Amino acid sequence: MAKIFAIANQKGGVGKTTTTVNLAAALAALSRRVLLIDLDPQGNATMGSGIDKRSLPGSVYQLLLGLSPMPSVLRRSETGRYDVIPANRELAGAELDLVELERRETRLKGAIAPYLKDYDFVLIDCPPALSLLTLNGLTAAHGVIIPMQCEYYALEGLSDLVNTIKQVHRNLNHDLEIIGLLRVMFDPRSTLANQVSAQLESHFGDKVFKTLVPRNIRLAEAPSYGMPGVVFDKSSKGAQAYVAFAAEMVERFSGDVPATAAPLLAIEPEPMIEPAA
């Protein structure tokens, strides 16, 4: 049965979409059957997978509103070799439309449930908000991957995200746990980045993924070619990091029960990272 992960952080531009697209393609390269769900009206994961968001016959919007079943909105990323439930601006209206409906937080979970046997991994790219769309992503998932930049304000906002995850865990989805923090756009020459990175490790232990994703221009260039970075330039440092991250995920989730996953509440975001003077 598929393992389902939401890639979430309500901060904008922290690398959620880059992580989702590249992890999807790297898992596919490891012969895993992958479904990527774009839950962001920006449609960046759709475009980055080589699918034109401006000419979609159907999208995650129809799926959430129960207007179309999953097979009729499903697309294939030919560049990444994974399936995609795409999104575009139409999804921006879903927030309002969903409020009117019953089971508004469990719509995505219900819509994908019959098709999970076809996949090993399902990755959900969440929008930069703790919105009803993100709630649908968290309710459908087994775990949350949180991309973070190693900067002074790295932890700001993390407590809001963790509180939302706790509420979803309590009220809607008892399976949900935080799988880990992924350090992205890492600059190894920056003293501050190294300090914050080390402090994340000491605070959060095995909730911090071993893989560090460096800042790498090839990852940023790839979407304009409609390709995941791991396909666009396999030899780049960014691509290699996402391949290592995919291997880390496969190792951790090859069995049914994640061997190293600590309980949900192990992350306590209170202590602020204080960079040394």
Q: In the complex, what is the shortest distance from the CB of residue 8 to Mg ion, in angstroms, rounded to a whole number?
A: 10
- Within 10 angstroms of residue 125's Cβ, the number of other Cβ atoms is 29
Instruction: Tell me whether residue 44 or residue 134 sits nearer to ligand ATP (CB atom).
Output: 44
Q: Which residue is nearest to Mg ion (CB)?
A: 17
Q: Say if CB 136 and CB 106 are below 8 A apart.
A: yes
Task: Point out which residues bind Mg ion (CB under 5 A).
Answer: 16-17, 44
Instruction: Tell me whether residue 77 or residue 216 sits nearer to ligand ATP (CB atom).
Output: 216
Q: In the complex, what is the shortest distance from the CB of residue 151 to ligand ATP, in angstroms, rounded to a whole number?
A: 13
Q: In the complex, what is the shortest distance from the CB of residue 11 to ligand ATP, in angstroms, rounded to a whole number?
A: 7
Q: In the complex, what is the shortest distance from the CB of residue 14 to Mg ion, in angstroms, rounded to a whole number?
A: 9
238 binds, among Mg ion, ligand ATP, none (CB under 5 to 8 A by kind): ligand ATP
Amino acid in position 192: L
Instruction: Tell me whether residue 211 or residue 216 sits nearer to ligand ATP (CB atom).
Output: 216
Q: In the complex, what is the shortest distance from the CB of residue 185 to ligand ATP, in angstroms, rounded to a whole number?
A: 4
Instruction: Tell me whether residue 213 or residue 264 sits nearer to ligand ATP (CB atom).
Output: 213
Specify the residue for token string 């775990």: 143
Q: Say if CB 20 and CB 36 are below 8 A apart.
A: yes
CA distance 263 to 143: 11
219 binds, among Mg ion, ligand ATP, none (CB under 5 to 8 A by kind): ligand ATP
Task: Point out which residues bind ligand ATP (CB under 6 A).
Answer: 12-18, 40, 42, 44, 128, 184-185, 213, 215-216, 219-220, 238
Closest CA to 14 of 192, 190, 147, 174: 147
Q: In the complex, what is the shortest distance from the CB of residue 72 to ligand ATP, in angstroms, rounded to a whole number?
A: 26
Task: Please list the residues that pair with 122 across neighbouring strands.
Answer: 4, 35
216 binds, among ligand ATP, Mg ion, none (CB under 5 to 8 A by kind): ligand ATP
155 binds, among Mg ion, ligand ATP, none (CB under 5 to 8 A by kind): none
Instruction: Tell me whether residue 10 or residue 139 sits nearer to Mg ion (CB atom).
Output: 10
